[in-house]
Amino acid sequence: MSESFPNGNSARSTRQKRALAGALARSSSFRSAQDLHAELRLRGERVGLTTVYNQLRALADTGELDVLRTDEGESLYRRCSSGQHHHHLVCRSCGMAVEVEADAVEAWAEAVARRNGFTAITHTVELTGVCPNCQ
């Protein structure tokens, strides 16, 4: 008996995945799918837009990428260094992001929610501004 992947677990290494991973690795900004796809095309990498969307979604689902949504509803992705829970201070001009921790905020959120009898709490905390370079 040699069931290849009983639990539906696999993962093939493809040219497209590597190209996208590269683009994400060399960027410290939050990027959109369209944006990343455009960069790959410029680099001569031939990757379908649908593939970029698929992969970004998959990577975000497994927690390998952080996601945030612009006011216009566009999803932006970034590979964060910290695997820990954290938040971001993002430049609204270039997308550059700084990872920040906020233990105090975590505690506050938990307390407020509990005080009001809410359960299954989650929170969103994002800081936006203009970075030093973009002033």
Q: Buried (b) or exposed (e) across 83-97, using 16+ Cβ within 10 A?
A: eeeebbebbeeebbb
- Specify whether the CB–CB gap between 67 and 75 falls below 8 A: yes
The 87-106 contact track toward Zn ion, x by CB under 5 A, reads: ----x-xx-x----------
Q: Which residues bind Mn ion (CB under 5 A)?
A: 106
Rounded Cα–Cα distance for residues 62 and 2 (Å): 27
- Of residues 60 through 79, those in contact with its own copies by CB under 8 A are 69, 73
Each residue 29-48 as x (binds its own copies by CB under 8 A) or -, in order, gives --------------------
Write down the H helix ranges in 26-116.
33-42, 49-61, 103-115
Q: Contact at 8 Å (CB) between 89 and 127? A: yes
CB of 114 to Mn ion, least distance (A): 15
- 27, 28, 32, 128: which one contacts its own copies (CB under 8 A)? 128
Positions that interact with its own copies (CB under 8 A): 69, 73, 89, 91-92, 98, 100, 102, 104-105, 108-109, 112-113, 116-132, 135
